[in-house]
Structure formats: structure tokens, C-alpha cells
């Protein structure tokens, strides 16, 4: 996992794989998200047209097809001021309380009030960055012959630049999508207790015997959605408690390092699969996500987790922090993923260094290249609270 070292990981190959799945060009493919998601570890082809080979020589009418694209998963973005140096995190490990010596006084004996008790600090570190580039070639001669005038040329250049912007937006979106998939997969490997199979809990609490098919029947869906709302709300409130319940624990050299965590509701993010969210919103309880409590959460519906052809499935090699503080990875495939509730510091991405520039004119070829370079850090912190929700039963 080169990204989790002091290196710059070339992410173009994995980015192309991720985008192909997200856009439906390819089927769901096992994806190595661990290769670009930094996780905490303890330790240090139409006829002649040289202008983009896409516009015919002279047209009586040109339609410029352009529509700005706005990335999803904006809630995962953390600006550089907040997390530009998301490299080191210090946390204090709780110690046990001690007895009150005021009630153990003995004549002739003294009490040492200067006994040293140093705070125990655990440091986790995030290393590496993911990088990729993009560029477009603009030919000098074609600028004089392909368009009827400066206005048409201006619109064309605007289209080219908008396409470039759209592709960069999608790159950020799909890499953020995969960072979320890595968190989900990593939870299954590192903290399986924090992966909840909803129908297991539902049947246990109601005494029913449900399946994925029967739960979607109208007579069963309403009570299930009401239960699910209560479950999410109760879990959200539990995360506000300072506890060990929803994150990774460390044991360094055989010594437990209990890290206490609490996540105020205002710092929680709740991502829910759109298929279920749409059913809830249109067919069952139209106001469930407009409830005063749910509005406090940073809520976003997710059309698909990894592949647009397999919306509720993830199949990744996830990187995560093992209980001994080292970074490791493992293959995980999950179906019926419906939601994830997590602390805002558990997953995200930050632009570290993004810039563009134009080359001088190549006088032999008569063209210039416009280059874009991106350095980002996509990160998961398994020491922060998160809970994954699977619709079906844990066992078939």
C-alpha cells in the first residue's frame, strides 16, 4: 500500500478503473481502494480534424454539447486549512481512577502528593498522497479554419474547458466514493461488530421471520421503516456518548490502549442508499428525512456505492488499521449495503496541491498543451466512530 508510506502514489490507473465502474463502462470489479486511501497507522477516433480529433473541418452549424457537472459526495471534502496537514493525530488514552487517600490517613505516615502520573498519548499517522494528471492539446492552425468567427471559437474553447472541468469533478467524486467504500470494507475487516445486519436485529426485536423480499411488501415495509428510523436515531444518539463502542481499539505490545470517542450529532454524516431512501420518501413516510432530528445529520442519498451496474454491492481490497496499529489490507465483498453512519473525521479527502499550466507553442507541430495536476489525500480513520448497515441477514 504505497500511499501509506512517505510517497506520492500515481492514482491514474486505479482512477480509470473506478470511473469505468461508476459510469457503467465495465461491470463491478474488485478494486484495490487500499492503494490510494491513507489510513492511520501507529508509527512513523471522424475525418481530418487535428483539434481534439473530434470537430469536422467547416460546419454551417455547430452544436456545442456542454452541461456543467457537479460532483457528489461534497460532504466528504475537507479544505486544506482543516486537513491539509492531515498527517498526525494525537489522542489521550484514558487511565483508571484512583482511590481517595483522604480516607486512608495513618498516624506517623505521609502521603506523597507528588507521585508522577504522566498522560498516556497515542499518536496515529497518515502518510502519502494520490496524484493524477490530465491534459488537452490545442492546435494553432485549426483555430483559424474550423470556426466561423471568434464567438463560435470562444464557445468551443468554453466547451473544451467545461469538459475538462467535468472530468476532474467526476474524478474527485469517484475517488471520494471509493474512499467511502474503503471505510465500509475496512469496518467489516477491522470491526465486524460495527457492521449491522438490519434484518437480524429487526427479527430479534419483533419476533418476525423476514427476508429481503418480504420486507419490501407494502404491509411489511411501513413498520420496518419506522423501526429503521428508530434504529438510526438511537444509534446516532449512542455515538454522542463518550465510549469505546464504534471504533477501532489498539493493543500495542500487548498493552491495551482504550481510546474514548464521542461524535456530536452536528459532526455525524449519514449516507443512505437511494433505492431505499426513495421508497421511504415516496411510498412510505414522506417526511422521515425532514424530521427535526434527521435534519441535524449531514444526510446524503447514494445512487450506488461502487458500480452503477451493481448499486448496493462493494467489492474492494480495503486498507485499514489493525488492532496492533499497523496498516493492513484484505479483500471484502458486501451485498445489500444500505447505509453508513460515521464521524466527519472518519472519511474524507483534501486537495493538497492542484494547479494547471500551458506549455509554450510547439513551433514544429503548431500546438500547445494545457496540463492539470492534482495531489489529493483520501483518508480513513478507523479510530473515529462509524457504523455500516446491511439490509439482509448475516447468514443466508
Backbone angles phi, psi at 212, to 5 degrees: -60, -35
Tell how strand 268-273 and strand 337-343 pair up.
antiparallel
> What mean pLDDT comes out for the span 217-238?
90
pLDDT at 184 over 90: yes
pLDDT at 23 over 60: yes
Helices (H), ranges, the chain: 12-23, 80-83, 140-145, 150-190, 198-206, 218-239, 274-279, 292-296
- The pLDDT assigned to 143 comes to 60
pLDDT one-digit tens code per residue, 154-178 = 677 777 778 778 888 888 888 888 8
Which segments within the chain are labelled E, that is strand? Answer: 8-10, 37-39, 88-93, 120-125, 129-139, 195-197, 250-252, 255-257, 268-273, 298-302, 314-321, 327-334, 337-343, 347-358, 367-380, 386-390
Q: What percent of the chain has pLDDT over 90?
A: 25
pLDDT one-digit tens code per residue, 112-168 = 777 766 666 556 656 566 676 777 777 776 666 556 666 676 677 777 778 778 888
Please state the pTM of the whole predicted model: 0.74
pLDDT one-digit tens code per residue, 284-311 = 666 666 667 777 888 888 999 999 999 9
- The pLDDT assigned to 84 comes to 47
Report the C-alpha gap between 25 and 104 in whole angstroms.
74
CA distances from 297 to 113, 182, 264 (A): 46, 22, 10
- The pLDDT assigned to 56 comes to 36
CB 120 within 8 A of CB 96: no
Amino acid at each position: 500500500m504505497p500511499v501509506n508510506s512517505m510517497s506520492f502514489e500515481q492514482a491514474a490507473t486505479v482512477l480509470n478503473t473506478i470511473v469505468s465502474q461508476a459510469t457503467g463502462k465495465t461491470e463491478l470489479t474488485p478494486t484495490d481502494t487500499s492503494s490510494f486511501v491513507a489510513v492511520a497507522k501507529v508509527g512513523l477516433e471522424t475525418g481530418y480534424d487535428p483539434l481534439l480529433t473530434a470537430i469536422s473541418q467547416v460546419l454551417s452549424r455547430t452544436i456545442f454539447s456542454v452541461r456543467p457537472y457537479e460532483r457528489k459526495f461534497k460532504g466528504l471534502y475537507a479544505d486544506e486549512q482543516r486537513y491539509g496537514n492531515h498527517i498526525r493525530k494525537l489522542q489521550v488514552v484514558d487511565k483508571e481512577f484512583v482511590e481517595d487517600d483522604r480516607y486512608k490517613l495513618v498516624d506517623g505516615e505521609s502521603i506523597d502528593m507528588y507521585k508522577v502520573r504522566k498522560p498516556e498519548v497515542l499518536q496515529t499517522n497518515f502518510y502519502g498522497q494520490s496524484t493524477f494528471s490530465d491534459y488537452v492539446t490545442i492546435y494553432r492552425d485549426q483555430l483559424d479554419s474550423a470556426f466561423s468567427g471568434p464567438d463560435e471559437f470562444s464557445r468551443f474553447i468554453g466547451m473544451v474547458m467545461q469538459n475538462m472541468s467535468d472530468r476532474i469533478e467526476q474524478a474527485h467524486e469517484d475517488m471520494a466514493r471509493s474512499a467511502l467504500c474503503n471505510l465500509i470494507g475496512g469496518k467489516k475487516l477491522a470491526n465486524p461488530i460495527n457492521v449491522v445486519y438490519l434484518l437480524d436485529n429487526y427479527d430479534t426485536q419483533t419476533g418476525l421471520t423476514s427476508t429481503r423480499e418480504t420486507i419490501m411488501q407494502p404491509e411489511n415495509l411501513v413498520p420496518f421503516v419506522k423501526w429503521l428510523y428508530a434504529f438510526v436515531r438511537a444509534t446516532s444518539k449512542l455515538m454522542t456518548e463518550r465510549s469505546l463502542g464504534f471504533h477501532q481499539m489498539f493493543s500495542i505490545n500487548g498493552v491495551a490502549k482504550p481510546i474514548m470517542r464521542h461524535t456530536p450529532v452536528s459532526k455525524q454524516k449519514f449516507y443512505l442508499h437511494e433505492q431505499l431512501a426513495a421508497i421511504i420518501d415516496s411510498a412510505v413516510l414522506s417526511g422521515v428525512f425532514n424530521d427535526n432530528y434527521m435534519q441535524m445529520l449531514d444526510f446524503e442519498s447514494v445512487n450506488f456505492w461502487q458500480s452503477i451496474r451493481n448499486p448496493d454491492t462493494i467489492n474492494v481490497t480495503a486498507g485499514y488499521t489493525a488492532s496492533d496499529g499497523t496498516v493492513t489490507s484484505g479483500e471484502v465483498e458486501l451485498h445489500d449495503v444500505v447505509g453508513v453512519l460515521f464521524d466527519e473525521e472518519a472519511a474524507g479527502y483534501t486537495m493538497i496541491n492542484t494547479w494547471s499550466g500551458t506549455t509554450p507553442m510547439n513551433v514544429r507541430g503548431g500546438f500547445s498543451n494545457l496540463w492539470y495536476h492534482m495531489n489529493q489525500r483520501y483518508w480513513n480513520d478507523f479510530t473515529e466512530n462509524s457504523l455500516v448497515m446491511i439490509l439482509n441477514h448475516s447468514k443466508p
